[in-house]
Structure 1
Amino acid sequence: MKPDQSLILVVDDITSNLKILGGILQPKGFNVTFAKNGQQALERIVSSQPDLILLDLMMPEMDGLTVCKLLKEDDRFRKIPIIFLTASHEQDHLLQAFSEGAVDYIKKPFNAPELLARVETHLELKHLQDRDAQQLAQERLIRHVVQATMESLDLKDILKAAVDGIRDYFKADRVLIYQYIYEYMDSDRRELECSKGRIVAESLVNSYTSFLGLSLGECPWFVTDTKDPRSVHFYNTATNMETSHHKAKLLQWQVKAELVSPIFQRSEHWGSLIIHRCQSSEPWVPETVQVLSSLLEQLELAIQQAHLYQQLQLANQELRQLANVDSLTGVANRRYFDTYLAETWAQLQQEQALFSLILCDIDYFKAYNDHYGHPHGDACLQQVAQAIAQATHRPTDLAARYGGEEFALLLPHTSPEGAQQVAQRLQQNIAALAIPHAQSNLDPHLTLSIGLSTLMPNPASSPEQLVSMADRALYHAKEQGRNCLKIWDA
């Protein structure tokens, strides 16, 4: 580590000692700042964050031991090496100095070669420790993102873990991930344009404004370098800004330093990582780009895996939909009817709530099919299925194709009177269709026979009993001339 990259704080209440030490250190290229008492030293440490402290052991008001103890109790400064400056008659205090956290001591009067050797040694040790600590922090951050990927393939969880880890690592006040939304520019769907987007993840110090959910038009960060689209952009409100609008926005949001890095998915500009410092305008160090490069490599992989998982989930959902839906009519199939009946029965048994079932059958459908043909028969089934589904509007009700021309409506939390109203709406819907049926012995238009049953699920009854009761009611409706509703009364 070069001397001009280090800042040394010299603390001594005797001005001549400060001059001597400055005269030894500054010609060698070290940056040096001075303090004449303990309180002034603490103020200098907060404002300048020195790399090494040369601290007089014995001073009036606040001695070096007290200063050392206060620093070692503060997480911000405990790792700064402290070398005590001591006279020969102060040797008894050195043991206590080391117990408080000192790393070395130098006797007065000062020997320049010895002082420089000790200073250079401890600066090099601190540099190595800082480098190791930074490397460990980088590895911890990467591991944090990888762990989030292993624990959850949900993109929201992964992005939240990433912004939390990044904010902690960079000691930032706000970290955002902005996702772009691409739309086709032409009707041929050949050329994509990024016209929308929003903040999808955020980690924030509580006192600052949240940007979560903001859209592209509300953010000044849509920055792409056409020569190097993967470049990282650094901004400081006191120096370099792209536009006055950008600067005004950052000042409005109390941002002093900003970093914007693109996130890619293959060759597509997927989004941006934005890091804000609001309390400090400390410039971003070159090592930041290297850290971000490693991090974004893992983050981009995690996003890709999350997208693949999301596509798999959608594909599975479609498969489940196909497995549960009757392909001709679009309502639930018999398989899903049986599953939903069993699950809802168990739930209503716990709740001690009524469960109603409507079974209905198209009157003389075989004659309809023979007369009009199977294509018309299929179209008829589709219209009837939709009319049945539209007879109820609650999300917990289920319309299903029970057999060839037989349909069912499962009605949880429904009394016999409520189910009868649904059945009447169903009859009205069928009548409104006015589907011609020249082969019916009842009516020139298509009609339904309907059976209805209601039970309160309990250990002594079963779902099969509810179905059997509705089936018997339907049988009676057919026996008594069809085109009517019968309610099973045990």
Structure 2
Amino acid sequence: MNSILILDDAQENCMLMQGILRKSGYKNTYTSQSPEEVIDWLNLKNQDPPQKECSLILLDILLPGVTGFEILELIREKKELKDIPVIMITALKESNVLQKAFDSGAIDYVIKPFDATELLARVRSALRLFEEMTRRKEREKELEKLTDQLQEVNSYLVAISRTDSLTGLYNRRYFDEILTTEWKRCWRTGAGIALIMLDIDHFKLYNDTYGHQGGDQCLKQVARAIRDCARRAGDVAARYGGEEFAVILPETNESNAVVVSRNILENVEKMAIPHSASKTNSIVTVSIGMATLSPSPENSITELIERADKALYLAKEEGRNCLRFYPQSD
């Protein structure tokens, strides 16, 4: 129900307007002849919410000790009231006074002595405006809520489009995308980039021995060991395919990349995942190939991948469960 507040220092004016409005169905109309009382009701001089709700304020311009314009300024400064329509009450018809009322934030005015028909018309118009503004705010809130929900859905879709569903690491598609991005960035900055490629040793035998569910659990555990070692903001760990993984280390030199690679080897061994069918060890191990390059016109992403892949092949040839790296210079 709409609530209307009337502030006029003349009691007869308050009673007249209140009577007209209540007779027309606006039962929740209250009045005051005291600016201080209204300031207190609405908490205009502190941060507390208003004590009285109102959908419309009828505000006299000439008040004892203060002007209606000053009250209106306080109203517009309070966030809970800044959109409440205000109709100024005045006996003055000078255009400069009326213009000041509009400039101060009033939406309309009524001239004393009151004409009931005119007063009701202006009140109804102001309340329609308030109701429309209220509906608009509700629509905006609903739209904001829907927008937030849509952003959450989009973020989720982006995340799952980039993530390997089994291991939680990035997938091959996103690996290719981010490797290109980081390559270009390192080219611009002159920094080096390292690529680690690793394979779970004898994983086919693991699957044959422990079943595909066991194999999936093994992949998850190895992925966790890799993730724990690639923790910098720019590091990207991905499932490259099957039992093969890859780690991008932007702005990383050879010695630091070796440290990360050895940490991965040690982390996987510490997990002590049983692998009775392994020809290398009684537990799950990995073979790692690592390469670094400083992007330039003389090399390419393909060359970086080929170097890391060759290093991985060398690690497998030399007994597995080890790290081999392709030197930056041939």
TM-score range, shorter chain: 0.5 to 0.7
Runs of at least 5 residues in structure 2 that lack an aligned partner in the other structure: 1-27, 56-77, 90-105, 109-122
Q: Which string of whole-angstrom CA distances, capped at 9 and with x for unpartnered residues, describes residues 234-287 of structure 1? A: 99872258xx8x77x6434599998667xxxxxxxxxx961259xx9x798845
Amino acid at match of 1:462: S
Q: What is the CA-CA distance between 1:322 and the residue it aligns to?
A: 1.3
Question: Contact 2:192–2:294 at 8 Å: present in 1 too?
Answer: yes
Q: Which string of whole-angstrom CA distances, capped at 9 and with x for unpartnered residues, describes residues 39-62 of structure 1? A: xxxxxxxxxxxxxxxxxxxxxxxx
Root-mean-square deviation (Å): 3.4
Question: Contact 1:259–1:276 at 8 Å: present in 2 too?
Answer: no
Q: Does 1:391 align with 2:189?
A: no
CA–CA distance in structure 2, aligned partners of residues 360 and 240 of structure 1: 75
* Match among 297, 302, 305 for residue 467 of structure 1: 305
Q: Does 1:419 align with 2:257?
A: yes
* Match among 235, 251, 254 for residue 45 of structure 2: 251
Q: Evaluate the alpha carbon distance shift between residue 446 and residue 291 of structure 1 in structure 2; reply closer, same or farther with a 3 A threshold.
A: same
Question: Match of 2:143, SS?
Answer: helix
Structure 2 residue aligned with 1:239: 37
Q: What is the CA-CA distance between 1:460 and the residue it aligns to?
A: 2.3
* Match among 328, 331, 347 for residue 166 of structure 2: 328
Q: What is the CA-CA distance between 1:442 and the residue it aligns to?
A: 1.8
Question: Match of 1:360, SS?
Answer: strand
Q: What is the CA-CA distance between 1:464 and the residue it aligns to?
A: 1.2
Structure 2 residue aligned with 1:449: 287
Question: Match of 1:306, SS?
Answer: helix
Structure 1 residue aligned with 2:268: 430
More moved, 458-467 vs 290-299? 290-299
Pairs aligned (count): 244
Q: What is the CA-CA distance between 1:289 and the residue it aligns to?
A: 3.3
CA–CA distance in structure 2, aligned partners of residues 419 and 439 of structure 1: 31
Normalised TM-score (structure 1): 0.45
- Flag the structure with larger Rg: 1
Question: Match of 2:298, SS?
Answer: coil
CA–CA distance in structure 1, aligned partners of residues 31 and 138 of structure 2: 21
Q: Does 1:337 align with 2:175?
A: yes
Structure 2 residue aligned with 1:275: 81
Q: Does 1:361 align with 2:207?
A: no
The within-5 A match list for 1:25-424 is 238-239=36-37, 250-253=44-47, 274-275=80-81, 286=123, 288-424=126-262
Question: Match of 1:366, SS?
Answer: helix
CA–CA distance in structure 2, aligned partners of residues 324 and 292 of structure 1: 47
Structure 1 residue aligned with 2:64: none
Question: Contact 1:259–1:275 at 8 Å: present in 2 too?
Answer: no
Q: Does 1:439 align with 2:277?
A: yes
Q: What is the CA-CA distance between 1:457 and the residue it aligns to?
A: 1.0
CA–CA distance in structure 2, aligned partners of residues 441 and 233 of structure 1: 91
Q: Which string of whole-angstrom CA distances, capped at 9 and with x for unpartnered residues, describes residues 67-116 of structure 1? A: xxxxxxxxxxxxxxxxxxxxxxxxxxxxxxxxxxxxxxxxxxxxxxxxxx
Question: Contact 1:237–1:250 at 8 Å: present in 2 too?
Answer: no
Question: Match of 1:396, SS?
Answer: coil
| Greater relative contact order (CA < 8 Å, ≥ 6 in sequence) | 2
Q: Which string of whole-angstrom CA distances, capped at 9 and with x for unpartnered residues, describes residues 177-213 of structure 1? A: xxxxxxxxxxxxxxxxxxxxxxxxxxxxxxxxxxxxx
CA–CA distance in structure 2, aligned partners of residues 254 and 346 of structure 1: 54
Question: Contact 1:255–1:276 at 8 Å: present in 2 too?
Answer: no
Q: Which string of whole-angstrom CA distances, capped at 9 and with x for unpartnered residues, describes residues 320-354 of structure 1? A: 11111111111001011011111111111111111
CA–CA distance in structure 1, aligned partners of residues 301 and 36 of structure 2: 74
CA–CA distance in structure 2, aligned partners of residues 480 and 445 of structure 1: 18
Amino acid at match of 1:251: K
Amino acid at match of 1:274: E
CA–CA distance in structure 1, aligned partners of residues 149 and 31 of structure 2: 35
Structure 2 residue aligned with 1:70: none
Q: What is the CA-CA distance between 1:305 and the residue it aligns to?
A: 2.5
Q: Percent identity?
A: 37
Question: Contact 2:49–2:80 at 8 Å: present in 1 too?
Answer: no
Q: What is the CA-CA distance between 1:303 and the residue it aligns to?
A: 2.7
CA–CA distance in structure 2, aligned partners of residues 455 and 353 of structure 1: 9
Normalised TM-score (structure 2): 0.66
Q: What is the CA-CA distance between 1:315 and the residue it aligns to?
A: 1.5
Amino acid at match of 2:133: L
Q: Evaluate the alpha carbon distance shift between residue 389 and residue 237 of structure 1 in structure 2; reply closer, same or farther with a 3 A threshold.
A: farther
Structure 2 residue aligned with 1:34: none
CA–CA distance in structure 1, aligned partners of residues 238 and 54 of structure 2: 53
Q: Evaluate the alpha carbon distance shift between residue 320 and residue 252 of structure 1 in structure 2; reply closer, same or farther with a 3 A threshold.
A: closer
